[in-house]
Amino acid sequence: MPLSTSNSDTMNNNNNNSWFYTWILVIILCVGVLGSYELFLKNKGFVASIENNNNLWSWYRGKVNNKPNSLVIIGASRSQLDINIPYLKEKLSSYDVYQLSINGHYPMATFKALADDEEFVGTLIVSLNAQAMEEFYFDMQLPQNEFYQNKSTIYKSLDAYLSALLQSKLRLLHPLLGLQQVVEFYDSNKAFKTVFYTTANIDQSVSANYSLTNVENLYRHFVSSKEENYKNEPPTAPNLWQQNIKLLLEYSEKIKSRGGQVILIRFPTDRGHWELDENYYPRKQYWNKISDQIKLNTVHFKDINGLDQFALPDSSHLDQKDTIEFTEKLFNELIKREYIN
């Protein structure tokens, strides 16, 4: 009996060792394959990029409350691409800076939500233009705010942040470089994907490297899309449009009454895009009706020396190489006007 037991134990030990070495080998192979793919993407010129989603937006939205030193940026793609968040955090070290802009969505719904939130007592930077004041666009960011109020949880938001943190470190986790996407693209084009010119960052800003794309095609696309948009959704007459300014006053006063601050900024457009803006929403008839309100802190890019001199490759956004200088000029002006300190 003792001999039989000893042989059984020896066989079990050998089996356990065999499985142990098998798993070690599998792990080494997986790490090797993933590491090789990461190196391949690096050599191709890809950079890590995150997936923006409602859970991640809710993570940052939940962090802005009860902080008098919070500086929150809301808007659409211009405030996302033009403001260099890491640099701003260094420049304004006494502030906690949060990016809540949402690509392609005007910010009035988020402006209202923060105004109605008694726990928001910080400084709010609002990227705004005349079109954003059309009632038609007021609810563009409502889904994100409703998700934050009704569906977000600490667990889901934290999980989204940790996932994004990992994505920001590894190219192979790029949301557009999944195995299925790569295979489908290769089947259709008989080539690997080309490097993307935009990168979504962990702080919810976006960086654009226009040297990686056909700028003229992109420019024509942006201008023609803007023209089509203006034709399909023509401006409200100035005398009717300006009635909505009362909302800017209402939301701003709510935040200021709690010790906060609000700054409304018209970010740059240029070339054909700016011409369309002026054709459909002339500054004198629209934006100046906002800036004439003495209770509102406003900044128009045309009024700041040098701020309209930056090249906007697609007519609407800055290249990443210019964002630090732009952020420096813009916020120096805000400090000079004592909108922030």
Query: Residue 18: left if φ>0, alpha if ψ -120 to 50, beta else—which one?
Result: alpha
pLDDT, tens digit, 9 for 90 and up, residues 59-72: 999 999 999 999 99
Which neighbouring-strand residues pair with 263?
125, 297
When the pLDDT of each residue in the chain is averaged and rounded to a whole number, the result is 93
Rounded CA-CA distance 252/122 in Å is: 12
pLDDT, tens digit, 9 for 90 and up, residues 116-168: 999 999 999 999 999 999 999 999 999 999 999 999 999 999 999 999 999 99
pLDDT, tens digit, 9 for 90 and up, residues 44-63: 999 999 999 999 999 999 99
pLDDT at position 8 over 70: no
Which neighbouring-strand residues pair with 126?
74, 264
Could you give the number of structural domains in the chain? Answer: 2
Answer positive or negative: Cα dihedral of 16, 17, 22, 25: positive
In a domain, 168, yes or no: no
In a domain, 246, yes or no: yes
> What's the pLDDT score for residue 7?
60
Q: Are residues 229 and 254 in the same domain?
A: yes
> What's the pLDDT score for residue 290?
97
Q: Residue 299 sits in a domain of what CATH number?
A: 3.40.50.1110
In a domain, 104, yes or no: yes
Give the three-class secondary structure for 206.
strand
pLDDT at position 5 over 60: no
Q: Are residues 65 and 25 in the same domain?
A: no
pLDDT at position 1 over 50: no
Contact yes or no for 60/98 (Cβ under 8 A): yes
Q: Are residues 12 and 117 in the same domain?
A: no
Contact yes or no for 290/298 (Cβ under 8 A): yes
Band of residue 16 on the pLDDT scale cut at 50, 70, 90? low
In a domain, 85, yes or no: yes
- Give the structural domain span for 27: 1-44
pLDDT, tens digit, 9 for 90 and up, residues 89-120: 999 999 999 999 999 999 999 999 999 999 99
Nearest Cα neighbor of 74 from 84, 61, 86, 92 is 61
Q: Do the strands 198-200 and 297-300 form a parallel or antiparallel pair, or are they unpaired?
A: unpaired
In a domain, 310, yes or no: yes
Q: Are residues 137 and 12 in the same domain?
A: no
**Amino acid (1-letter code) at residue 185:** F
In a domain, 186, yes or no: no
- Please state the rounded mean pLDDT for residues 254-259: 97
In a domain, 174, yes or no: no
Nearest Cα neighbor of 129 from 200, 10, 226 is 226
Q: Are residues 8 and 88 in the same domain?
A: no
> What's the pLDDT score for residue 190?
86
What is the residue whose two structure tokens read 């997986």? 30
Record the tokens describing residue 286, joined without a space. Answer: 């629209």
